[in-house]
Amino acid sequence: MKVAIATLGCKVNQYESAGILEALEKQGFEGVSFDQPADYYVINTCTVTGRSDVQSRQLIRRAARTNPLAHIIVTGCYAKLAADELRKMPGVALVTDQKILIPEAIAAAGRLNGSLPTIHADAPSDIASLNPVRFHGHTRAFLKIQDGCNSRCRYCIVPFVRGPSRSVPEREVIQRIDELRRAGFREVVLTGIHLGAYGVDLTPPTNLVAIVKNINDHRTLERLRLSSIEPMEITDPLIALFQHSEILCRHLHIPLQSGDDGILDRMGRPYDAGFFVHLLEKIWRAVPELAVGLDVMVGFPGEDEQAFRQTVKFIEDLPVAYLHVFPYSERPGTAAATMSGKVSEADKKERAKRMRDLGKRKRVAYAEKFIGKKMAVLLEGKSDRGTGLWKGFSGNYIPVLVTDEDISRVNQIVQVLADHFHEGKLYGRIIDD
């Protein structure tokens, strides 16, 4: 029996999809790519934007066309938000947000050669139970240590579909780190829906700094990377860890969303532009080479041209490494959905382009600082451009291409001397220490 999985959205979804696939492979299922005929298709959806909803429905229709007799399982955040709508789509056999129960449901149907059993909405779900040690196509492993969110940003639907913040106990996190290291991973990315809230729900309470320090002191890992962290949760002790840790990658991804104080207030963000600048200055004083990437939203209700230009000017003055740009997408049920001052789709599209152009300039300016310098790069495999070059990422998250004929270096951390930058990547050559 063959199973194919498509994943939309965040690294948490990628982690959970890997767990579903690994559990099924252990029961004898063969994983195939999503464009191949399969007996079961799992679509792990996202609902952060209207576009992701459209993509989820497109994947359902694509699976039904590829094999009209297949069983299609829809899970993830969009499945939580629009279950009744999705159940009506041709080919959909099961809609559930209880991802932990999907492997057994598919296995049961496979054994009986019948329909999928019902998974009730109130079925128990343990966030630590999908524990993959294989991540197909990745040399970096993801580790979900937190799920859910207690914040109520006015544009965000995630707390409604992911639920309250829940954390994996510290002992289990360390056990999982050990398992991933034994599986051959040299870098692990800690992920969560609200990663900075890690530990507040545990007994006794703990925090992100404590678990990162624990992993650092455990000394079984070569690289540890953190996924997105809210600005209010980047504390002095966390900055000190970036300054002194030998394994923590010098890279932070921080949601800014807007550089205009009025828009930040309308969004329900708990900081202003002055706080954000002060935070970044403090980070760079402690760790000058640290790469900072920003999430930026354009077209939020009430954002006029002046507010947008203020955000552009704000970012132009910051030596950040890259931008992730998102046009605002109205989510029913959120406070922002009923706000006045809606921005037209044409204006949102035009502003997103301008902001992405700025992001390209920022990426070039940051990467060019490292030309002529040595960098530690984790090699991931051959470049997908047919050039014969190998690709990898530096600790500060710069994509690097190198020339090398030794295939044994894949999944190795090598020293690279960067010599030029072209089309979004640094190029260099491997050197001896």
Q: Residue 109's pLDDT is what? A: 85
Assigned CATH class of 2-112: alpha beta
- 296-344 tens-digit pLDDT: 999 999 999 999 999 999 999 999 999 999 999 999 999 999 999 999 9
CATH H-level, domain 140-368: superfamily: tm_1862 like domain (3.80.30.20)
**What's the whole-number mean pLDDT along residues 216-235?**
95
- 278-295 tens-digit pLDDT: 999 999 999 999 999 999
% of the chain surpassing 70 pLDDT: 94
Q: Residue 407's pLDDT is what? A: 67
Q: Residue 268's pLDDT is what? A: 97
How sure is the predictor about 258, in pLDDT bands with cuts at 50, 70 and 90? very high
Confidence check: pLDDT of 124 > 80: no
**What's the whole-number mean pLDDT along residues 353-377?**
96
**What's the whole-number mean pLDDT along residues 270-279?**
98
Confidence check: pLDDT of 123 > 50: no
Q: What is the 3-state secondary structure (H, E, C) of the chain?
A: CEEEEEECCCHHHHHHHHHHHHHHHHCCCEECCCCCCCCEEEEEECCCCHHHHHHHHHHHHHHHHHCCCCEEEEEEHHHHHCHHHHHCCCCEEEECCCHHHHHHHHHHHHHHCCCCCCCCCCCCCCCCCCCCCCCCCCCEEEEEEEECCCCCCCCCCHHHHHCCCEECCHHHHHHHHHHHHHCCCCEEEEEECCHHHCCCCCCCCCCHHHHHHHHHHHCCCCEEEECCCCHHHCCHHHHHHHHHCCCECCEEEEEEECCCHHHHHHHCCCCCHHHHHHHHHHHHHHCCCCEEEEEEEECCCCCCHHHHHHHHHHHHCCCCCEEEEEECCCCCCCHHHHCCCCCCHHHHHHHHHHHHHHHHHHHHHHHHCCCCCEEEEEEEEECCCCCCCEEEEECCCCEEEEECCCHHHCCCEEEEEEEEEECCEEEEEEECC
**What's the whole-number mean pLDDT along residues 75-88?**
95
**What's the whole-number mean pLDDT along residues 398-419?**
86
**What's the whole-number mean pLDDT along residues 12-23?**
94
Q: CATH code for 374-431?
A: 2.40.50.140
Mean pLDDT estimate for the chain: 92
Delimit the domains of the chain by residue range: 2-112, 140-368, 374-431
- 151-203 tens-digit pLDDT: 989 999 999 999 999 999 999 999 999 999 999 999 999 999 999 999 999 99
Q: Residue 185's pLDDT is what? A: 94
Q: Residue 136's pLDDT is what? A: 79
Confidence check: pLDDT of 113 > 80: no
Confidence check: pLDDT of 404 > 90: no
- 236-255 tens-digit pLDDT: 999 999 999 999 999 999 99
How sure is the predictor about 220, in pLDDT bands with cuts at 50, 70 and 90? confident
Confidence check: pLDDT of 134 > 80: yes
Q: Residue 137's pLDDT is what? A: 74
